Every structure is written in structure tokens, then in C-alpha cells.
Amino acid sequence: MPIVTFMRHAKTTQNTAGKFTGQTDCDTTKEGLELARKNFKFTAEDFDHYICSSLKRTVQTLNAVIPGQTPIIDKRIAERYLGDWENLPHDSIDQALIQSYIKGYYDPPKSEPYSAVKKRVCAFVEDLFKNYKTEDRILVVTHAGVLRQVRDNFLPDMDKAPMPNAFVLTVTNEDFERYMEKKEKEQQAR
């Protein structure tokens, strides 16, 4: 089974404007890319494979931190579609409602349901561990909503703090095996 490092994309024009982005295909900022390069502690020699979402901000981030790579594009790790919240300023939505959304207790109107995001992200991670070799080292550049799903399902003991732009976390073989054991117990309990 591989070791998978997940990274949130660099700061975007939408982040700078204080707006919900979701699946809006916006660009990263020059400052965001510089900060991502400065804080990224890996080199091309640390990875065998690169995967990005279908949104250009992830590919722009990969090109900034490890130039010259051609990633596999996988739509399953695109950010959650936020429906009526797409492009709205953060301060236009009640903060308690935003916190409920982040924790998975509230789906914005006309958005992709939390359960659908969980299903596609977990399927993506399961496929990585099923299809890649033990020695494979994979970098996945994705989004905050995807990282929250990875954290909550594969790293449940990890601190639930916000994940800033260019945030990095790693899922190991042990993390994946714990996830699979829990999944099997849940299926047997049904």
C-alpha cells in the first residue's frame, strides 16, 4: 500500500476576496503560490505519482511546488459544489451555519450533499490503496472540503482545526488499515 500526501491548493483570488468558492474554477494568487513554495517541505524526489482535482487551482499549486510534473486529473477530489453559496461572501452567511456546514451537519441549498462528497472521497482513497504499490509515494493536490473528508475518515484522531491554504497531511498504510477495519465492523453491524 502507498503513502499518500494530501495538499490543499494555494490561496486563490476567491480566498482573497473572502468568497465561497466550491467548484468555481478560479486562479491562485502570486502571493499564495509563493507561500506554498516557501512552506512545502518536499521535492520531486519524494513522490512517484501526482494527482490533482479537475479545478485549475490545484494544478497551478502543483506546478509551483514541484514544477514540470504532469498530474493525473481526478474529478472525485474536486471541491464540493456549494449550490446557492457559490461565490457568496463569507460574511453574508451566518457564522453558526458555516460551522455546521464545515462539520457536515448542514448542506447549503442546492449543494452537493455532504454524504455524496464523503462517498466519492473515500472511494478515491480506497482506490489509491488498492491500485498502487507499497513503495509508491503519491502527492494529491486538492481542496479543504476533500481534506476534511480525508481527515475525518482516515485520520479521525487528528485535530479538527481549520486547514489553511497549502496545508499538508499524510495517510499511511496503518491509517488506511484502521479505516478499513472500522468500515468492516460498521458493515457487519448492519
83-126 per-position pLDDT tens digit: 999 999 999 999 999 999 988 899 999 999 999 999 999 999 99
Do 14 and 87 meet the contact criterion of CB atoms below 8 Å apart? yes
Which positions ≥6 away from 155 have C-beta within 8 Å?
Answer: 169, 171, 175
Whole-model pTM? 0.96
pLDDT of 75 reads: 97
- Reported as a single tens digit per residue, the pLDDT across 142-189 is 999 999 999 999 999 999 899 999 999 999 999 999 999 999 999 898
Q: Domain 3-189, what fold?
A: Rossmann fold (3.40.50)
Check pLDDT > 80 for residue 36: yes
What's the pLDDT band for 190 if we cut at 50, 70, 90?
confident
Q: In what order do the strands lie in the sheet with 137-142?
A: 72-73, 49-52, 137-142, 3-8, 168-171
Q: Phi and psi for 168 in degrees, rounded to 5?
A: -125, 140
What's the pLDDT tens digit per position in 15-35?
999 999 999 999 999 999 999
Q: What is the pLDDT, as a whole number, of residue 133?
A: 86
Distance of CA 45 to the CA centre of its chain: 22
**Nearest CA to 117 among 161, 84, 147, 72?**
147
| Average pLDDT score over residue span 53-79 | 98
The pLDDT assigned to 137 comes to: 97
φ and ψ of 173, to 5 deg:
-60, -40
